[in-house]
Amino acid sequence: MEGAGGLGRYRLLAAGYDVLSGERPLYRVGRLAGTTALAPAPGDRVLVLGCGTGMDLPLLCPAVGPRGRVVGVDASPAMLRRAARRVERNRWEGVRLLRADATTVAPADLRAALGEPGAPAAADAVLFTYSLSLMRPWRAAWATALACARPGARVVLVDLGLPHGWARPLARAACALGGSDVRARPWTAVRADLVDVSAREFRGGHVQVHAGRVPEG
């Protein structure tokens, strides 16, 4: 699966991803704003699509606590191995990591992972950080997210756009390196499909954070 859809790059990037991704100088601000908007609470079931090496987990696992559940999904075994090591090091309970393509995985499989044996469950919150614009077609992964979320669930998308001004070429290069389709603008789906939406942008529009809730009833 890693060879398909440009994912082979993550086999190569996984070892240095946490540093090479530009987290500290550029992208942490979006992760913090995204997880704040997600507002994970004790006991929540959180689905993270394209979880990578698990950089969101320190912001999610302590918040949902031992009664909660965090399910991380990624297509790259190399990225997932890093995430698994992070979970082991921190002894977080209630985390499940799944290798799957978010555009084709059966929502029933994710609901099974969110629940208990014989009792599948829907997500209280769904998070994409810097991942949806890599998934092709991204609308299929978005549909997976909505199919796994309960009515009223919070859905947050942190993704990349083209900044205004001089940093455009640099942003294009960063997106090309990571495999993100900078023209995708997947946050258009947030306004179309969710309610109570909010949006923030950072780094001159390069970092986009969009949030909303699945309509009830």
Please report where in the chains the tokens 């997106």 appear, as a residue.
175
**Which parts of the chain are beta strand (E)?**
45-49, 69-74, 95-99, 123-129, 149-160, 195-202, 207-213
The distance of closest approach from Cβ of residue 206 to ligand SAM in the complex, given in angstroms and rounded to an integer, is 14
Please report where in the chains the tokens 């987290």 appear, as a residue.
23
Q: If binding is defined by CB under 6 A, does position 37 make contact with ligand SAM?
A: no
Q: If binding is defined by CB under 6 A, does position 7 make contact with ligand SAM?
A: yes
Q: Which stretch binds ligand SAM (CB under 6 A): 75-83, 110-118, 169-177, 185-193?
A: 75-83
According to DSSP, residue 215 is labeled P
**Residue at 43: amino acid letter:** G
Site string for ligand SAM, 147-186 (x = CB under 6 A): -------------------------------x--------
- Kindly tell me which residue out of 79, 123, 190, 207 binds ligand SAM, with binding defined by CB under 6 A: 79
- Report d(CA 89, CA 93) in Å as an integer: 11
**Residue at 175: amino acid letter:** C
Residues 74, 76, 79, 80: is their CA dihedral positive or negative? positive
Looking at the Cβ atoms of 100 and 122, the one nearer to ligand SAM is 100
Question: Tokens representing 41?
Answer: 């609470």
- Kindly tell me which residue out of 35, 46, 47, 50 binds ligand SAM, with binding defined by CB under 6 A: 50
The residues in 116-135 that bind ligand SAM, with binding defined as CB under 6 A, are: 129-131, 134-135
Residues within the interface to ligand SAM (CB under 6 A): 7, 10, 50-52, 55, 73-76, 79, 101-103, 129-131, 134-135, 178
